[in-house]
């Protein structure tokens, strides 16, 4: 007899039961969530969601539905508007190194740029820092890109077809972004070669005075950084997304300040809403999910949420934080709008995905049973039923 009166055979069977149960669960998971399955890949998407509060903004279904028929073989081009210190470098690398493509971008060691050609063509489907370089100027804004991109692409490519440009960008919490820019400038960054082209010219020294003398602003304190009235870090996201032609570009005397601010904010909100896609630095997994749903492109590896940044390690008094928010009051309003729209788009897309899965399962069951029932008979019927839902 074994210990406690159990036979060796009985003990072996008792040990085998939990092992078989684990194997059964693993097999079942693989059946339900096979490798590469999108619903399972994003099963933890809700983890980084803030508590939902009533929306301040009324968005239509058209505003929320951001799926585009991106034709990488045709004349469609993704244009990445890269705003400083919004995680754009990381996202830009995802675009050239991490998308599963028939013809992946050619990224060679030691070279800053990759070649992102359409399958079988010597044409680029991506306009970004890591594909075409700063062809429209360093960190070109919406005003610069919309005027420059078509011209540059016509010069680079002999075939001048009518292209469809899909603009995308990344936004970030304004306080974190501002602190990150300060730390970057403190280390010697200047972006002095940026053109700031508007209405055919760059701003004059009077229109955009320098905040520092010498080669850079190395060692600048946060107080000094905040005290420069011409610091482009202030409300940078609004300025880079707005149509600056509407306010006389960098000529501050063309209208009063309150009118200028209202026009800039309204323009930035409108341009952002009408972009094909934008992501938020604070929501990496949702950003990945919405990009994939928007363009029907898939990333190879999952995005990573990194919260331990230089900006996060800066200790602020409540007084200084309020001062930064005041200096970026337009960006604060834009980000509130952008975050609301982003999360609503995410919820809309998830609900649509669940509906598509349910319809697909119903069609599969109908096919297995060989019955008609009330299931859509054609792809067109299926698409229209999803749209109605």
Count the Cβ atoms, other than its own, within 10 Å of residue 108: 8
Asked whether 91 and 279 are in contact (CB, 8 A), the reply is yes
Q: In Å, how far are 21, 283, 306 from 56, measured between CA atoms? A: 49, 20, 29
Q: N- to C-terminal Cα distance for the chain?
A: 65
Asked whether 112 and 130 are in contact (CB, 8 A), the reply is yes
Q: Provide the token pair at 232.
A: 């482009």
Q: What angle do CA 205, 207, 211 make, to 5 degrees?
A: 65
Q: In Å, how far are 7, 78, 183, 184, 225 from 233, measured between CA atoms? A: 76, 26, 12, 11, 9
The set of catalytic residues is 139
Half-sphere exposure of residue 66: CA atoms within 13 angstroms, side-chain side: 32
């Amino acid at each position: 007899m074994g210990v406690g009166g159990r036979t060796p055979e009985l003990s072996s069977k008792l040990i085998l039961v939990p092992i078989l149960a684990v194997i059964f669960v693993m097999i079942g998971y693989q059946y339900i969530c096979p490798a590469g399955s999108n619903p399972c890949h994003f099963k933890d998407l809700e983890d980084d969601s803030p508590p939902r509060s009533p929306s301040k903004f009324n968005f239509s279904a058209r505003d929320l539905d951001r799926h585009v028929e991106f034709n990488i073989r045709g004349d469609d081009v993704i244009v990445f508007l890269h705003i400083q210190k919004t995680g754009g470098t990381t996202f830009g690398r995802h675009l050239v190194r991490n998308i599963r493509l028939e013809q992946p971008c050619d990224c060679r060691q030691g070279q800053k740029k990759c070649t992102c050609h359409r399958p079988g063509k010597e044409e680029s489907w991506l306009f970004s820092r890591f594909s075409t370089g700063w062809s429209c100027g360093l960190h070109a804004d919406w005003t610069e890109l919309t005027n420059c991109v078509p011209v540059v692409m016509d010069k680079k490519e002999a075939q001048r077809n009518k292209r469809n440009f899909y603009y995308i960008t990344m936004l970030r919490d304004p306080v974190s972004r501002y602190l990150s820019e300060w730390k970057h400038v403190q280390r010697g960054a200047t972006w002095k070669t940026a053109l700031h082209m508007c209405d055919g010219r760059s701003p004059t020294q009077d229109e955009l005075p320098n905040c520092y003398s010498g080669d850079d602003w190395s060692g600048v304190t946060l107080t000094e950084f905040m005290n420069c009235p011409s610091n482009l870090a202030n409300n940078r996201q609004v300025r880079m997304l707005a149509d600056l032609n509407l306010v006389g570009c960098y000529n501050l005397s063309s209208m009063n300040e309150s009118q200028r601010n209202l026009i800039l904010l309204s323009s930035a909100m409108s341009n952002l809403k009408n972009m094909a896609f934008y992501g938020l630095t604070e929501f990496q997994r949702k950003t990945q999910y919405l990009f994939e749903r928007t363009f029907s492109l898939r990333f190879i590896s999952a995005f990573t949420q990194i919260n331990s940044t230089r900006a996060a390690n800066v200790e602020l008094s409540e007084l200084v934080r309020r001062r930064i928010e005041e200096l970026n009051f337009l960006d604060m309003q834009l980000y509130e709008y952008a975050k609301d729209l982003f999360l609503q788009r995410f919820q809309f897309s998830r609900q649509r995905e669940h509906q598509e899965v349910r319809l697909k399962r119903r069609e599969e069951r109908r096919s297995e049973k060989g019955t008609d029932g009330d299931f859509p008979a054609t792809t067109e019927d299926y698409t229209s039923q999803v749209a109605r839902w």
